[in-house]
């Protein structure tokens, strides 16, 4: 939590600094001055595509991200390129645990016994991401808002993995945690897409890398969809 707060504060500082630098540049396009989408917050559903007969993910699995992007306009056109950096946290709630075969070192899902006693069961993954976007915006209207489309690629390193099981045993709630899950991919990448008007957008991400390393677990492909709040 402290690291997320620190990164958020740093991104706001960088955004304020870059805004001051751009506004001081007399060659900056007036139409784009307040529509650069430097700070982006994303909230949505973290899903897993899979064919495992044991595994079931819950509808309330969620993802949250924050990005700082530096927007580079192509001359005076409606197009720009925006590299960035940020943090993504996915929390996938599921009905299963993960076990590792001692002889093959391969991960698999198993159904947790006594489902009625399970209060919460999730896998959390934190990524340090580098988003790269090609953007198109219409000319801002009288409210200084534009229609926006952004397509690109997100590349990230896995900073942390964690499984957390909360279960009721003998009248008490007990929590079991496992950090640095074995056989999971140390990175992810895939296409991104955003579309919307003004500060409110919809977004999607599809991972081209599976959750587990090749031949080290069942095939699970992450994706996220949700809303994006863009500012500055």
Nearest to 123 by CA among 169, 177, 167, 43: 177
Contact 97, 86 (CB under 8 A): no
| CATH at 222 | 2.40.160
Tokens 């993504």 correspond to 88
pLDDT in tens, the chain (232 residues): 444 445 444 444 444 444 444 444 434 444 555 567 899 999 999 999 999 999 999 999 999 999 999 999 999 899 999 999 999 999 999 999 999 998 999 999 999 888 888 999 999 999 999 999 999 999 988 888 899 999 999 999 999 999 999 998 877 888 999 999 999 999 999 999 999 999 999 999 999 999 999 999 999 999 999 999 987 6
CA dihedral 151, 66, 36, 14 (to 10 degrees): -140
222 token code pair = 């992450």
Domain coverage including residue 211: 2-231
Threshold 0.75, pTM exceeds: yes
**Interatomic CA distance for residues 167 and 118, integer angstroms:** 4
User: Number of folded domains in the chain?
Assistant: 1
**Cα Dmax for the chain:** 70
Nearest to 86 by CA among 133, 154, 150, 20: 154
Contact 194, 226 (CB under 8 A): no
């Amino acid at each position: 939590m402290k690291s997320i707060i620190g990164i958020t504060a740093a991104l706001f500082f960088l955004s304020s600094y870059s805004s001051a630098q751009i506004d001081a540049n007399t060659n900056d396009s007036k139409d784009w001055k307040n529509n650069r989408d430097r700070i982006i917050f994303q909230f949505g559903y973290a899903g897993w595509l899979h064919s495992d007969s044991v595994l079931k993910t819950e509808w309330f699995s969620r993802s949250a991200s924050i990005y700082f992007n530096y927007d580079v306009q192509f001359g005076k056109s409606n197009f720009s390129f925006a590299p960035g950096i940020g943090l993504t946290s996915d929390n996938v709630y599921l009905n299963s645990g993960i076990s590792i075969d001692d002889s093959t070192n391969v991960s698999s899902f198993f159904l947790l016994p006594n489902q009625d006693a399970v209060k919460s069961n999730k896998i959390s993954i934190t990524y340090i991401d580098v988003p790269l976007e090609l953007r198109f915006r219409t000319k801002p209207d009288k409210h200084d808002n534009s229609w926006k489309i952004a397509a690109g690629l997100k590349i990230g390193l896995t900073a942390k993995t964690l499984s957390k099981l909360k279960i009721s045993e003998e009248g008490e709630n007990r929590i079991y945690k496992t950090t640095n899950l074995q056989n999971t991919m140390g990175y992810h990448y895939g296409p991104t897409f955003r579309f919307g008007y003004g500060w409110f957008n919809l977004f999607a991400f599809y991972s081209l890398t599976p959750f587990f390393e090749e031949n080290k677990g069942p095939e699970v492909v992450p994706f996220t969809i949700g809303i994006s709040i863009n500012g500055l």
